[in-house]
Structure 1
Amino acid sequence: MQEARGEWTASVAKIVERRREPVVVQTLRSTAAATLAYVVALHLSPEPAPLTAPLTALLVVQVTLYSTITTAIRRVNSVVVGVVIAIGFSSLVGLTWWSLGLIILASLAVGHLVRVSEFVPEVAISAMLVLGVTRVGDTAWARVLETLIGAVVGLACNLVLAPPVWVGVAGESIEDLARRVRQLMLRIGEEAAGHTPFRIAAERLHEARQLDHDIAGVDAALRQAEDSLKLNPRVREGLLHRVVLRTGLDTLEICTVVLRVLARSLTDLAKEREPQPLFEPQAGAVLEELLSEVADAIVSFAVLVTTDVSQSAASAEARLSAELTTAAATRDKLAQLFLDEVQRDASQWQLHGSVLTEVNRIIDELDTEHRTRKLLEELDRCAAEERERRPRLTRMRRRLRLPRPLRRDRNRAAASGRSK
């Protein structure tokens, strides 16, 4: 009985967990919005089957509020442009094969001019549907009305069924990437401490190259999180969240690139020294210890950039600083052992130096002071881009002598606080 209850509890927990997945959330919200749009259109549209309204709601409702608003604007814009083109053509010519081709060509060209992005075909579709009916005026404006109904209902559903903030999902993806990097670095360290055949070293190099695909997936999750932070009233410091996560992923991407170069150096060294071990026993053991410490620091860095609570962030930063200090001491020890080994046999001194250099690059990239500089530089860059996008608002502030937005100052202070 207890076993069955445990299985039922686990199933319920799995369902609750899956409801947070983007596919599940998008399906439920899109279904509700399309159904509601159709019900509203039945009462307001003169058409007997106003399917344009649910179709518009289905296309408008997105995973994030920002994408929903931008999609709604482009969708309505595309339909209105298509209707206007169809009305203009209907007053001049009827529906023939050449007029159909001409209206499609004109609609697609105008669609690119008005910048409706993925809804360029919608301009031509709206024009064809309106041109093919007898009462052009009534059908045209009914289609516009249904489109507006679908867009309004889609936006309303986003206010009632608020889209989630996907920062947590992006943070989990970043931490998962860091753990995969750690596992690979630990395997490389264990094999470098002993006898590593060239074939095994080449396999590790291939695994390091596969991390690029993992980064692409994390980048997609982070872009979704960045969209969910835009125009979201539940988020107070959206810019700071975006910058912290983005710079954190950039650092991990650099670490994976350096790890790939390190794996290549060890592969070349294994090819040169086979069947002998890569390093002397003592140097190999210290290298394994160093890679283990650096691997732990990478995970601590990922936890730091994905932690929102200041107390937890301070604890993660203290742990990261301690791990980097330990790794730096082990690096110095390994450098002396490499120097002694090179003085006895200088045949592979370039590869020994490359291994030490790449590990040192990862340590420097994870350094907290380096991270603080990157955060502040990114905040300044975002502020400069905002001024370029909105020059009129910037000039108005200067004329009125209003203070700069305090939010960016709070972001800079928070960024400095999370990195000290």
Structure 2
Amino acid sequence: MNPVRRLRSSSRTPFLQVVKTAVAVVAAVLLCELLIRGPFPTFAAIAALLVVQPSINQSFVKGLERSAGVLLGVVLATGVHVLLGDAVWIVLLVVVLAILLAWALRLTPTSATQVGISGMLVLTTGVVTPNYSADRILETLVGAVVALVVNAVIVPPVLLEPAHLAVARLARDTAAAFERIAVGLTEGWDHEQWHQALLQARALRQQHGRTEAALTSARDSLAMNPRGGRHRTILDRDVAVAEHLRVLVTRVTGMTRAVRDNTAPDLRADPMVGRIATEVARIGSDVRRLGAQIESERLTPGELAEGPEDTALEHALTAPLAVVRPNSRHWVLIGALLEDVRRVREELLGEDD
């Protein structure tokens, strides 16, 4: 693998975040120039660079981590300098002590790194400057606060759309998995065809994991966000749909595996199998309509506020299937499929066990 490729991300940072980072750095430096007379406010610029994050909640956390690391590092370096003086080996000692202190306190990687960096900078560039330690702490706080304010004021990020579309895609692909079962039962697929269908069904589990991660990011972007209130309703609905889809993904995977493991050339000849295929096709239709409904919902603020609250579907499912005389050859598979259809039906209709 080309090592240069590791330097590049698979996706580009939104340009708005780049602009906000630049504005935060400039504002933090200019404010420190007014408040603190001294050398270039490096700590403020670094804090602003690190604190502007994809969400306000992440910015707040980064600000706390950065400030805590600087405070510990500056206090540690100042105390060691007062006790032991100024020498090269003192700098090395402070770095080692900073590493041990971060480990003992179980600090996050950001705070742990900042303790050592701050302590080293204090001893190498600040020991001859009056009030250097206090000024560096103040610089960091100014940079962190400015970055947090800039991130909150200039179009606070809302990561709802990627999560919304991820839920819609998961519903669509889950519907396709049910439809494959219906087609396979109708056409009489062989073992290899069912195996390929099973691989596609199993891939839904990873897709559901990615959808959950997108929903977590969306929820995180709404925390402490002044724009978050009007978006939370649709996010809560997406989270509820994703939970239903988690159950359906498990069911469709189990159904596909059951058919793959127990399929036979004469399976399609059983009348009950045809009825099951029809019901599974209706399940796929319902789930596909659910995905289309989610995808069609607009995420603009006005339409969110005015959107309909009732998102119930008119289901295509019929009454539960009943077997009068079980097939002596395929009764295990048919029974398993009937039970899965019953459970999926309950999940879609919201019926109690």
Which whole-Å CA distance do the structure 1 matches of 2:100 and 2:231 have between them?
37
Instruction: Give the deviation of 1:47 after TM superposition.
Output: 4.7
TM-score (norm 1): 0.70
How many residues of Structure 1 are paired with residues of Structure 2 in the alignment? 332
Q: Which residue of 2 aligns with 1:406?
A: none
1:366 alignment partner, one of 345, 348, 352: 348
Q: Which residue of 2 aligns with 1:347?
A: 329
Structure 2: which 5+ residue stretches go unaligned? Answer: 1-11, 298-303
Which whole-Å CA distance do the structure 1 matches of 2:318 and 2:18 have between them?
50
Q: Which residue of 2 aligns with 1:178?
A: 171
The CA deviation string for residues 188-219 of structure 1, in whole angstroms up to 9 with x for no partner, is 32122112111111111111111122112211
Which whole-Å CA distance do the structure 1 matches of 2:160 and 2:351 have between them?
24
Q: 1:311 to 1:46 in 2, by over 3 A?
A: closer
Q: Which residue of 1 aligns with 2:255?
A: 262
Correspondence 1:49 to 2:49: no
Helix, strand or coil: the match of 2:308? helix
Letter in 2 for 1:294: I
8 Å contact kept, 1:57–1:153: yes
The CA deviation string for residues 305-333 of structure 1, in whole angstroms up to 9 with x for no partner, is 7865676342x30xx2x31xx3142x42x
Letter in 1 for 2:188: H
Q: 1:291 to 1:78 in 2, by over 3 A?
A: same
Instruction: Give the deviation of 1:242 after TM superposition.
Output: 5.1
Letter in 1 for 2:77: A
8 Å contact kept, 2:47–2:140: yes
Helix, strand or coil: the match of 2:268? coil
2:123 alignment partner, one of 128, 131, 135: 131
Which whole-Å CA distance do the structure 1 matches of 2:252 and 2:138 have between them?
57
Which whole-Å CA distance do the structure 2 matches of 1:137 and 1:222 have between them?
49
Which whole-Å CA distance do the structure 1 matches of 2:307 and 2:269 have between them?
44
Q: 1:244 to 1:102 in 2, by over 3 A?
A: farther
Q: 1:309 to 1:303 in 2, by over 3 A?
A: farther
8 Å contact kept, 2:267–2:330: no
Instruction: Give the deviation of 1:227 after TM superposition.
Output: 1.3
Correspondence 1:290 to 2:272: no
The CA deviation string for residues 21-62 of structure 1, in whole angstroms up to 9 with x for no partner, is 974443332233234333434444445433322221121111
8 Å contact kept, 1:89–1:103: yes
Identity of aligned residues (%): 25
After TM superposition, the structure 1 stretch with the greater mean CA deviation from structure 2, 95-104 or 187-196, is 95-104
What pairs with 1:145-294 in structure 2 (closer than 5 Å)? 145-236=138-229, 243-270=236-263, 273=264, 276-280=265-269, 282-294=271-283
Structure 1: which 5+ residue stretches go unaligned? Answer: 1-20, 371-420
Q: Which residue of 2 aligns with 1:84?
A: 75
TM-score (norm 2): 0.82
Q: 1:35 to 1:311 in 2, by over 3 A?
A: closer
Q: 1:114 to 1:268 in 2, by over 3 A?
A: closer
Letter in 2 for 1:49: F
Q: Which residue of 2 aligns with 1:327?
A: 317
Q: Which residue of 2 aligns with 1:62?
A: 53
8 Å contact kept, 2:177–2:252: no
The CA deviation string for residues 335-367 of structure 1, in whole angstroms up to 9 with x for no partner, is 43xx54x34xx2332221111212222221222
8 Å contact kept, 1:87–1:136: no
The CA deviation string for residues 132-182 of structure 1, in whole angstroms up to 9 with x for no partner, is 234265432332232122112201212321323223332111111111111
Correspondence 1:357 to 2:339: yes
Helix, strand or coil: the match of 2:329? coil
